């Protein structure tokens, strides 16, 4: 049996297996259809039916279950997550697991299409080292991502000393709903 | 013991949804044969550290692995037993040679994955239980071991033993469709 304790390990291994079978298109199709459209139907339903409150309900449950180190900030027009210790990437890093070239893409791979379907878009940035932030807004709201500290105050992950110090490139998404909308920033 | 460690004692049960969805996606997109190739790949490649433990430690290591594995799977109800062919093996020889087990038996009373998916009203891929055979058989290859699975759909028995002691292949009809 394969289990849920080391799920992130075989999930990440699966990305590379799929890439070898059908390239990056197949990996993205997997994130969108199998994860966003099948595994995470509970998230999709909550977000579609209850908007920002649904996001809070989904992530409160799932990030507690995964033992994430995060702060969620809800406002009337935006839902923000500051992820200080991603449990998923953290598991891979601490166990030295890396088969696929960009594990972090999987989040935008399923969350992006779910948000698009529910009428939202995403401002997001991750540092490939277990830290990221997300802001979800309604599609009609073309506001840019918030400036540092304005939404989540001292909990803003961009104020974390490790956020700036990492040499790994950061991936930035602005008003996005697909991993293809990535902009890569290298030091 | 498990080859990987995490900060939390048990896994997040909702990940069973993703495992199930992954199997369904591969079968529907690439075909049933590809799904078997995927399962075998998981066993041979992803589980290579487990295979190595089994190769070095034999059946006691297999038992130790599955005890640790199911202790970290939320909702699992599983008995892991080292089996002996006869009482002589269990007691050891007159010269005090340690007893040598001939098999490891997993009595899965409550499969944590099937249980969690049912509790959440998920449509379980009918071939879900087959992965236990294909993944474990592939993981056992490098250690000279194989497995037979009987039952499924929530509870089953899995027996690990030396490949050269296998008299018959796994009969796939002995593994129930999941629902």
CATH of the domain at A42: 3.30.1380
Residues 6+ apart with CB under 8 A from B18: A7, A11, A34, A35, A39, A40
Which residue of A5, A18, A84 to mutate against B (max B Cβ within 10 Å)?
Answer: A5
Does A67 map to a domain? yes
| Per-residue model confidence as pLDDT tens digits over A83-94 | 999 999 999 999
Position B85 scores a pLDDT of 76
Does B1 map to a domain? no
Of the candidates A2, A29, A97, the beta carbon closest to that of B135 is on A2
Does B79 map to a domain? yes
| Per-residue model confidence as pLDDT tens digits over B63-93 | 999 999 999 999 999 999 999 876 555 555 5
Residues A39, B18: C-beta atoms closer than 8 Å: yes
Position A164 scores a pLDDT of 80
Angle of helix A7-29 relative to helix A87-95, nearest 10 degrees, comes to: 110
Residues 6+ apart with CB under 8 A from A144: A123, A174, A175
Based on the structure, what is the number of domains in chain B? 1
Does B5 map to a domain? no
Does B2 map to a domain? no
B63: burial class by Cβ within 10 Å (0-12, 13-18, 19+)?
buried
Position A179 scores a pLDDT of 96
Does B9 map to a domain? no
Of the candidates A34, A42, A67, the beta carbon closest to that of B7 is on A67
DSSP, residue by residue, chain A: ---STTHHHHHHHHHHHHHHHHHHHHHHHIIIIIIIIIITHHHHHHHHHHHHHHHHHHHHHHHHHTT-EEEEEE-SS-EEEEEEE-HHHHHHHHHT---SS-TTHHHHHHHHHHHHHHTEEEEEEE-SSS-EEEEEEETT--PPPPPTTTTTGGG-GGGSHHHHH--S-EEEEEEESSGGG-EEE--
| Per-residue model confidence as pLDDT tens digits over B128-173 | 999 999 999 999 999 999 999 999 999 999 999 999 888 899 999 9
Does A90 map to a domain? yes
Domain of A106, in residue numbers: 7-185
Does B7 map to a domain? no
Which residue of B2, B5, B7 to mutate against A (max A Cβ within 10 Å)?
Answer: B7
Mean pLDDT per 10-residue run, chain A (187 residues)?
97 98 98 98 97 96 90 96 96 97 97 98 96 97 96 96 86 96 90
Does B179 map to a domain? no
Asked if pLDDT for residue B94 goes beyond 70, the answer is no
Q: Which of A113, A112, A67, A70 is nearest to A91 (CA)?
A: A67
Position A23 scores a pLDDT of 98
Given a contact cutoff of 8 angstroms between Cβ atoms, the answer to whether B37 and B131 are in contact is: no
Domain of B61, in residue numbers: 15-174
**Interface residues from chain A to B (CB-CB < 8 Å):** 1-7, 9-11, 13-14, 17-18, 21-22, 26, 29-30, 33-35, 38-40, 42, 62, 65-67, 87, 90-91, 94-95, 97
Q: What's the CATH code of the domain at B111?
A: 3.30.1380
Does A2 map to a domain? no
Based on the structure, what is the number of domains in chain A? 1
């Amino acid at each position: 049996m394969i289990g849920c304790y080391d799920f992130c390990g075989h999930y990440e291994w699966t990305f590379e297996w799929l890439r070898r079978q059908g390239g990056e298109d197949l990996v993205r199709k997997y994130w969108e259809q199998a994860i966003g459209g099948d595994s995470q139907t509970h998230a999709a339903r909550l977000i579609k039916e209850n908007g920002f409150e649904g996001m809070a309900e989904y992530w409160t449950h799932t990030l507690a279950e995964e033992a994430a180190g995060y702060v969620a900030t809800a406002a009337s027009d935006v839902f923000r997550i500051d992820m200080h210790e991603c449990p998923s990437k953290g598991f891979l890093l601490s166990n030295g697991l890396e088969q696929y070239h960009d594990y972090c893409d999987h989040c935008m791979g399923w969350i992006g299409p779910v948000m698009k379907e529910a009428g939202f878009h995403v401002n997001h940035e991750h540092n490939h080292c277990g830290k990221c932030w997300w802001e979800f807004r309604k599609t009609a709201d073309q506001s840019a991502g918030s400036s540092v500290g304005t939404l989540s105050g001292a909990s803003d992950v961009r104020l974390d000393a490790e956020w700036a110090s990492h040499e790994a490139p950061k991936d930035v998404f602005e008003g996005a709903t697909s991993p293809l909308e990535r902009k890569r920033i290298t030091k | 013991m498990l080859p990987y460690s995490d900060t939390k004692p048990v896994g997040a049960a909702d990940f069973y949804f993703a495992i199930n969805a992954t199997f369904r996606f591969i079968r529907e997109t690439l075909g049933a044969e590809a799904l078997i190739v995927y399962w075998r790949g998981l066993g041979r490649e992803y589980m290579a550290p487990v295979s190595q433990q089994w190769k070095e430690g034999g059946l006691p290591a297999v038992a130790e692995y599955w005890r640790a594995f199911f202790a970290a799977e939320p909702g699992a109800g599983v008995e892991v037993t080292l089996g002996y062919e006869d009482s002589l093996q269990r007691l050891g020889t007159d010269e005090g040679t340690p007893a040598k087990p001939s098999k490891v038996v997993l009595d899965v009373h409550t499969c944590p994955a099937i249980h969690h998916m049912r509790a959440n009203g998920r449509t379980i891929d009918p071939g879900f239980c087959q992965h236990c055979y294909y993944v474990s058989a592939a993981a056992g290859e490098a250690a000279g071991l194989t497995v037979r699975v009987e039952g499924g759909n929530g509870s089953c028995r899995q027996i690990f033993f030396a490949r050269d002691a296998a008299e018959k292949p796994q009969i796939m009809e002995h593994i129930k469709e999941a629902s």
